[in-house]
Chains A and B, each alone.
Chain A
Amino acid sequence: MNIIVLVKQVPDTYSERKLSNSDHTLDRDVTDAVLDEINERAVEAALQLKEAHGGQVTVLTMGPARATDAIRKALSMGADEAVHLSDEALHGSCAVQTAKALAAVIKAAIGFGEFDLVIAGNEASDGRSAAVPAMVADVLGVPALTHAREITVDGSTVTVKRETDDGVTRLTAELPAVISVGEKINEPRYLSFKGIMAARKKPVATLSLADAGIDPSEVGLANALTAVTAAQPKPAKSAGEKIADEGDGGAKIAAFLVSQKLI
């Protein structure tokens, strides 16, 4: 079973995130960058399937040079190899361009038909569009089984228990297919020293747009299908009234709510 895991490096969700002043894209320099937590679960899901069915786990990311840190983490967990689409011209790509570029890499560089599953996180913690896995599937013309809480592969059929705020949906499809995993799919394994050492020797193929056969006019800020025209940090909310509870704290909140016509 050949599995491609889509991963993304994102700003640490425990840090303050900023947009750059010049082009309103994510300012990746001011925040700590980490492998998105949900991607660790995607890698874990892939490794568990590999352990059960054999095969190979390839990590694929699109991002600036320093995204290699995220790749190394996925390799340290146990993925076999990685492909890194990295090109200055990709900066500022929109979701549609990103999905098409990832699908192009899967098709061209890795070889369409040579994978059984693409596994991704259901939603990146920075962009939060929660749509890219299904968009990649749509470009590839394969089924998207998203927000998986459980994945079962039986022969050439995959079934997924999909869990969202709206409830549980049971989905089934023939391979190859795209799966996105939710928070509750698994607990990612801890990195072992052995795994970290082994990751150093694992192959990472860095592809430029030309390597991946992607036309530069199809990606990047200048060609994006959307444009951010302005962005302002919201003025920090200033503190209102602050009191110490002297036995009437609850009553004072109630009085405040009344004064604001909230109750």
Chain B
Amino acid sequence: MAEVLVLVDHLEGEIKKATYELLTAARALGEPSAVVVGSPGTAGKLADGLKAHGAEKIYVAESDSTDFLSPQVAVLASLVDQVAPAAVLIVVSADGKEIAGRLAVRTNSALLGDVVAVSAEGATHSVFGGAYVAQAKANTEHPVITMRSGSVEIEASAGAGAEQVVDIPAATGRSATVTGREPITGGDRPELAEASVVVSGGRGVGSAEDFAVVETLADSLGAAVGASRAAVDSGYYPHQFQVGQTGKTVSPQLYIALGISGAIQHRAGMQTSKTIIAVNKDAEAPIIEIADFGVVGDLFTVTPQLKDEITKRKS
């Protein structure tokens, strides 16, 4: 069976759980091989987790290189050359998309970006924020596929996890140099794109201070906080939390929209959520039309009550 290369997503010795989703998805295409590119000692910390999620091989490329993303691209390109994998899977992130694009153009491979499912027949995309579902296939060998986190249910499976050290090939072009890094530690809330519950606020929240009501409900549910473009443009909440056509696309199990009218700009970023709850003063707000449960009312009375009910049930 052909190998499927999975680029391991990690930060400071910690694995990103989306890597396990890719290892799970990879089994539908072939034999999963994890590829660890990082500073010396990285693979040692990650190997047990990778084995427990089905990695038959672990390619280890460790160095202190300060070249920006070029080592990842170079290592994957040389592995594509050596093992002719059935596919290369990479997590959707800013870095992941960039590595994937550069790898595809360098190895002349099909680039299937931001997919939600893979099979031997091809990949499934969710387009325009879920307004369309499209099936796509690669017309080349070894397609490079980026997968959206949260699309696959992680399944543990024991793999041999045979480690194999690979050299980082010399760069083919000039590279940017990393002179400093300040990772976001993110606080206690889950990451927006990965959260299974998202609570978002819109223009109806009315001020930055009052976003506390959104945050309080989110924390009672262990949820991520999101915001509509209108709320972000009004300065109520930082841009990195924007959900919508020009922000994040989320697809959680539960999405709670507070004071959000639901313009297409916003719906495109959340309409594939499994269950949608909306609270809005306006009975005609488009968000109510796509909500599984819509309450026409004041979010400042409904939300605290909901929060209290949730806390009660937990205790």
Contact = CB atoms under 8 A, between A and B. Distances in A.
Which of B182, B246, B263 is most buried by chain A, counting CB atoms within 10 A of its CB? B246
Contacts of B271: 234, 237
A84 interface: no
A225 B313 contact: no
A241 B292 CA distance: 6
Contacts of B175: 143, 173
Nearest to A136: B105
Q: How large is the interface on A (under 10, 10 to 19, 20 to 34, 35 or more residues)?
A: 35 or more
Contact of A24 (B69, B134, B138): B134
A169 B180 contact: yes
A38 to B, nearest CB: 8
A139 B173 CA distance: 9
B95 A171 contact: no
Q: How large is the interface on B (under 10, 10 to 19, 20 to 34, 35 or more residues)?
A: 35 or more
Contact of A173 (B69, B177, B254, B302): B177
B175 to A, nearest CB: 5
Contacts of B17: none
A196 interface: no
Given A138-B105, A232-B132, A241-B293, A13 B246 contact: yes
A250 interface: yes
A141 B172 contact: yes
Nearest to B298: A245
Nearest to B281: A245
Given A138-B105, A241-B293, A165 B313 contact: no
Contact of A230 (B135, B263, B310): B135
B170 interface: no
Nearest to A231: B134
B167 interface: no
Contacts of A146: 94, 98
A240 B292 contact: yes
B174 A173 contact: yes
Interface string A214-243: 000000000011111111111011011111
Contact of B180 (A170, A237, A251): A170
Given A130-B98, A184-B239, A226 B111 contact: yes
Contacts of A183: 239
A249 B240 contact: no
A19 B111 contact: no
Contacts of B105: 96, 99-100, 135, 138-139
A15 B264 CA distance: 7
A40 B291 CA distance: 35
A14 interface: yes
A172 interface: yes
A99 B305 contact: no
B9 to A, nearest CB: 10
Contact of B181 (A130, A167, A226): A167
A145 B102 CA distance: 13
A139 B102 CA distance: 8
Given A166-B94, A262-B253, A125 B139 contact: no
- Those 6 A-B pairs whose CB atoms lie nearest each other, nearest first: A245-B297, A250-B305, A131-B101, A141-B173, A254-B309, A250-B306
Interface of A: 13-17, 19, 24, 37, 94-96, 99-100, 125-126, 128-132, 134-135, 137-147, 159-160, 164-174, 177, 183-184, 224-234, 236-237, 239-245, 247-254, 256-258, 260, 262-263
